[in-house]
A = this chain, B = another copy of it.
Amino acid sequence: MDGAGPVVVVAGAGALPALLIRALDAASRERRVIALKGFADAAVARGADRTMSLLDVSGILAQLAAWRPAAVTLAGGVVRPSPAALAGGVAAWRNRRELAELFARGDDHLLRGVVALLEEEGHRVVGAHEIAPDLLAPAGVLGAVSPEAEAWRAIETGFACLAVLSPFDVGQACVAVSARVVAVEGAEGTDRMLARVGGSVGGRLAGLLPALIPASRRAKPAAGVLVKSAKTGQDHRVDLAASGPRTVRNAARAGLAGIALGAGATLTIERDAMIAAADRAGLFLVGVDPARPGEVPA
Interface residues of A (CB under 8 A from B): 55, 79-81, 86, 89, 92-93, 96-97, 99-100, 103-104, 106-108, 110, 157, 160-161, 164-165, 168-171, 174-184, 186-188, 192, 196-197, 199-202, 204-206, 208-209, 211-214, 217-219, 221-222
Contact = CB atoms under 8 A, between A and B. Distances in A.
A182 B217 CA distance: 42
23 contacts: A79-B201, A80-B201, A81-B204, A81-B205, A86-B208, A89-B212, A104-B219, A107-B205, A108-B177, A108-B201, A110-B201, A164-B165, A168-B176, A169-B181, A170-B174, A170-B180, A170-B182, A170-B184, A171-B181, A175-B186, A183-B187, A187-B200, A187-B202
B100 A221 contact: no
A182 B108 contact: yes
A80 B196 CA distance: 13
Nearest to A86: B208
Contact of A96 (B81, B171, B212): B212
Number of copies: 2
Nearest to A55: B212
Contact of A201 (B55, B182, B187): B187
Most buried by B among A161, A192, A214: A161
Contacts of A206: 103, 107
B165 A170 contact: no
A49 to B, nearest CB: 26
B201 A107 contact: yes
A230 to B, nearest CB: 16
A110 B205 contact: yes
Contacts of A97: 217
Contact of A180 (B80, B169, B180, B209): B169
A184 B187 contact: no
A186 B180 contact: no
A219 B182 contact: no
Contact of A183 (B89, B160, B161, B186): B186
Contacts of A81: 204-205
A106 B222 contact: yes
Contacts of A164: 164-165, 168
Contacts of A201: 79-80, 107-108, 110, 187
Given A165-B181, A180-B108, A184-B170, A218 B89 contact: no
Contacts of A104: 218-219
